[in-house]
Structures are given as C-alpha cells and as structure tokens.
Amino acid sequence: MRILRALHHFLRSDARHFQIAFLQGFLAYGVLALGWDAEWPRYAVLVATCLLVQTLFIRWKGLPWHTLKSALVTGSGMSLLLKSDSLAVLAMGAAIAIGSKFFLRVDGKHVFNPGNLGIGAAVLLTGDAWVSPGQWGSGPVLAFLLGAAGCMVVLRVGRIDTSLAFLATYAALEFARQVLYLGWEPEVWLHRMTNGALLLFTFFMITDPMTTPKAQGARIGWSMAIGILAFVLGTAWWINATPIWSLLIISAATPALDRLWKGRRFTWTPGAPLTPATTNNR
C-alpha cells in the first residue's frame, strides 16, 4: 500500500507524469496487442532528439531540468503518429517540435503544439514522412482505453472542455453527412469515431494546456473551429489526418484569442509562481 500511495502521489504531483505513463502504455499496446512492427530506432530517434534539443535550451536559457518531462511527452506522442523511412527526417521533425517552443512565441507563450508542428513540418518539408491513422484500428475496447486514460489526463490539466467541444462538433458533422445525408448505417459513423488516432488527438494533442487559449469560452470556440475545419478538409479535399492539419492552422489564432479573452496562464506544477523560468516551462 505504501508503494501504491507513493506512486499515486508521484503521478498527481505533475500532470505530465500521467501523460508520459499513458503514451508509453499506448505504444506498448500498439506493439503487443495491435501487431505493430516494433520500430525501436524510430522511437529512439524521436524521443532522444526531443530530449537532446530540450537539454540544449535548458543549458542556454537556464531552465529547470523538470522541463525534460515535456520533451518526453512530445517525443512519445510523435512516436505514436509520425512515420518515415528516414531517421534524419524524424530527427528534423523532433528538433523543429522542441525548437518551436522557444522561437515561435507570443507574449511569453509558444503558439503551436510542439508535436503537432513537428509532424506537420516533417510531412510538408520532406515528402518522406506521413501519419498513419489506420494503424490504430477502431473498436469499443480501444475507444474505452483511450477515452478513460484521456479523461484522466484532461481532467488533471483542466481541458476536458476542449476535448468535448472538438469531438462533439466533429462527430455531429460526420453523423449529419454520413447517416442523415448519405444514408449510411450508424455503425459506419461509429467505426470512424472510435478510431484510435482520432481519440489520441482528442485527448492528448488538442488538449495541450500550454498552447490552448487561456479563457474557457475562447477554448470552446477554438476547439469547435478545429472540428469544423477538420470536417471540411476531409469531405471537400479528402485530406488524410485532417484534425492534425486543422489544429496546426487554427493554432495561429491562439495569440489573438488570448488578447481578446483573458484567462489564467497554465503551469504544470500547481501553485508554482510565474517566473521567467516557469513561463518557459515547456
């Protein structure tokens, strides 16, 4: 019991502990239960590059070493989504992801979700990288695992509103098109909504508390806009992995939303004062 209490205290002390544990757990689930190829060099390059680049900025800017946790979250998330035949391309994407936190900033806050930008940059700049939503499959068991774990994380960081607003908007539009307009069976729509990649995005990428709008009302509208754009990109242009591209586009509006609607800046460690170090805590 003492060990369990210590583990519980450790996990609750920093929401990133939950993120790291669940993301690594999903990677293990993919390899062991879904039959993924164990691409250890790909995982190692993504995680190691994120940690290395974060370490360089820690030394350069005098940041606390606990910020390595954020780099590990980014590397773990990219390992679940980004694929390439070139390790150099993966390293470039990871380096851009971490570097963007320090070079693409407005009012002391980085603009883009690091993993999201790193994936987008690798795909767009090289033509030798891609996102593979199909590797996750779909089904009630996977949906339950991702949903339950995701709810634990977003409740810890106070971003359940973001997940629900995006998923409700996107699911409603897809239901209207597939079931009401095209006349497909509801099972087709449900299969799409329980895709692992979509749920991973919903609970672990769009909810990044450092890059979502600070005010709750702005976050809800921002999330709904991402859902609408993802639907439009998928139905009008048949683009793959549309939520990822929608987040990348809509995130550019976050600084303007933060200026129009004021809210409290998020910190990973509750009660920590907002110093120059903590405002760079990702």
Mean pLDDT by 10 residues, the chain (282 residues): 78 88 93 90 98 98 96 97 97 98 94 98 96 84 85 90 97 98 96 92 95 96 98 94 97 97 81 46 50
Decide: 15 and 156 in contact? Cβ < 8 Å: yes
- How much is the pTM? 0.92
pLDDT for res 12: 80
pLDDT for res 201: 96
Rounded CA-CA distance 133/30 in Å is: 12
Burial tier of 103 (Cβ tally within 10 Å: 0-12, 13-18, 19+): exposed
- Return the axis-axis angle of helices 2-12 and 15-32, rounded to nearest 10°: 110
pLDDT for res 270: 57
pLDDT for res 132: 85
pLDDT for res 271: 52
